[in-house]
């Protein structure tokens, strides 16, 4: 059993992304799987903008699907689109997005290169209010489908809302940081949201520690 399998077994995980590389599988099968995956992405990218499952569709300019490398090892998950994201259709833009890009660069990562970025909710809550539980329940299947298709090795939940939603807990970020959790069978690490860090500069050092922990964890997966 490989070190990665040992760690996953210790965590009691039955990963949905297991066995990315399948030994002894013919090129024809690989090609068929790739085509199916491409079709699945196309379907999801059509389904999300057409979604009216919760009331947030009424106020959106557009859905914010997510962006990045669709075969990434890293999946970063935030809360919901803000005004700029709603306008541009991309998650983590503006000052918070710049900070996130800098944080990624500090651990040798780059948006779009082995990194995928998405939010729990695909539509902007009015006035940037907190998402309602029903909205989260309706939108979660979209995120789960993204996880199934990306098959990341590690999820980084950014901010209280993403962490509490994905881990189904009301525990504080402080109590969730520094430990390995799991979501949908994928190892998950909690850190602060870049927008929060812009308002709370002293916590940047904690976010840095979280990213170092994530980077170190990734080397074992």
Which stretches of the chain bind ligand SF4, using CB under 6 A? 48, 51-54, 56-57, 63, 121-123, 135, 138-139, 142
Q: Round to whole Å and give the CA distance between 66 and 5.
A: 29
* Contact call for residues 77 and 161 (beta carbons, < 8 A): no
Residue with tokens 């807990």: 169
Q: Round to whole Å and give the CA distance between 142 and 129.
A: 21
Q: Which residue's CB is nearer to ligand SF4, number 14 or number 50?
A: 50
Strands of the 154-158 sheet, one edge to the other: 67-68, 115-119, 74-78, 154-158, 186-191, 181-183
Q: Which residue's CB is nearer to ligand SF4, number 32 or number 52?
A: 52
Q: Which residue's CB is nearer to ligand SF4, number 125 or number 152?
A: 125
| φ, ψ for residue 180, nearest 5 deg | -95, 120
Quote the least distance from Cβ 54 to ligand SF4, whole Å.
3
Quote the least distance from Cβ 49 to ligand SF4, whole Å.
8
Quote the least distance from Cβ 150 to ligand SF4, whole Å.
18
Quote the least distance from Cβ 126 to ligand SF4, whole Å.
12
Q: Which residue's CB is nearer to ligand SF4, number 77 or number 154?
A: 77
């Amino acid at each position: 059993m490989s070190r990665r399998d040992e760690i996953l077994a210790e965590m009691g995980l039955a990963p949905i992304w297991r066995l990315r590389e399948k030994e002894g599988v013919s090129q024809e099968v690989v090609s068929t799987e790739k085509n199916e995956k491409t079709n699945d992405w196309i379907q999801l990218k059509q389904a999300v903008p057409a979604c009216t499952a919760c009331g947030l569709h009424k106020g959106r300019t557009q859905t914010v699907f997510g962006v990045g490398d669709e075969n990434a090892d890293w999946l970063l998950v935030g809360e919901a689109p803000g005004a700029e994201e709603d306008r541009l259709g991309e998650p983590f833009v503006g000052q918070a997005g710049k900070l996130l890009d800098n944080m990624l660069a500090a651990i040798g990562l780059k948006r779009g290169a082995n990194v995928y970025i998405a939010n729990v909710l695909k539509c902007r809550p009015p006035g940037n209010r907190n998402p309602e539980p029903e909205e989260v329940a309706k939108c979660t299947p979209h995120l789960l489908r993204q996880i199934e298709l990306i098959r990341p090795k590690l999820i980084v939940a950014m901010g209280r809302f993403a962490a509490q939603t994905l881990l189904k807990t009301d525990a504080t970020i402080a109590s969730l940081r520094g430990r390995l959790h799991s979501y949908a069978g994928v190892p998950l690490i909690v850190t602060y949201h870049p927008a929060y860090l812009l308002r709370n500069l002293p916590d940047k050092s904690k976010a840095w520690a979280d990213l170092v922990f994530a980077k170190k964890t990734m080397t074992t997966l």
